[in-house]
Structure 1
């Protein structure tokens, strides 16, 4: 078991970094989606798009947190300069954000309609949709970041 863990160390660190980043993203999404609609009335439904600013801001928080965890704990530096590496990371993250926002809209509009009661906490459809979108996009992120950005 220990040998397997050592061989898969990078994947495990990526999962941990991704999990922590997801906590930051979901937490900030909960914060923004709770308070932004009080300031911006159209935040809950902007021409059919649900919580657009909350999604963008929370995803940005998660991306930046993930970048720092990735360079500190997960990946070794690749052949790119720090500037180029950061630029590639942001391009991949931008594409991932578009995918995540799209998945969120589909999940929130068509898939998750009811709360999920976990006894100690109730997950709303918007939080469930956010979690599902993050999980789906994370798989793509690991592959691209490992092969393209950090050349691992």
Structure 2
């Protein structure tokens, strides 16, 4: 068991860093999706897009958290300077954000229609859509960040 953990240490740390980043992102989304529509009525539905700014702002919080966790605990520095590495990381993250936003809209409009009551927490369609989009995009992120940005 110990050998298995050591062999997959980077993947495990990536999952932990991603999980912590997701907690930051989901928490920020929950707070923003409650309070932003009170100030900006169009936040609930901007040309058919649900919670656009809550999504963008919460995803940005998750990206910044993930960057720092990734360079501190997951990946070793690659061949790029810190500035270029950060630029590539943000570029990949922006592309991932666009994919995540599209997935969120598809999942919210077509897949998750009902609330799921877990007794200790109620999962709304927007939260289920956000969590699912994060999980799907994180698989893409790991492979690109490992192979391209951190050359690993």
**CA RMSD in angstroms, aligned pairs only:** 0.3
| Alignment TM-score, normalising by the size of structure 2 | 0.99
The superposition leaves residues 43-94 of structure 1 with CA deviations (integer Å, 9 ceiling, x where unpaired) of 0000000000000000000000000000000000000000000000000000
CA distance in 2, matches of 1:140, 1:134: 10
Matched, 1:74 2:89: no
> C-alpha distance in 2, partners of 1:53/1:8?
36
- Kindly provide the CA deviation profile for residues 97-141 of structure 1, in whole angstroms up to 9, marking residues without a partner as x: 000000000000000011111111101000000000000000000
Question: What are structure 1's unaligned runs of at least 5 residues?
Answer: none
Question: Does structure 1 residue 135 correspond to structure 2 residue 135?
Answer: yes
Runs of 4+ in 1 over 4 A off after TM superposition: none
For residue 65 of structure 2, give the secondary structure of its aligned residue in structure 1.
helix
Write the distance in 1 (CA, Å) between the matches of 2:20 and 2:145: 17
Q: Give the number of equivalent residue pairs.
A: 152
Cα deviation for residue 40 of structure 1 reads: 0.1
Q: In structure 1, what is the equivalent of residue 102 of structure 2?
A: 102
Distance (Å, rounded) in 1 between the aligned partners of 2:126 and 2:60: 17
The aligned counterpart of 1:91 is 91
Gaps of 5+ in 2: none
Q: Report the counterpart of residue 64 of structure 1 in structure 2.
A: 64
Structure 2 distance, partners of 1:26, 1:116, is: 17
Q: Distance in 2 between matches of 1:10 and 1:136?
A: 19
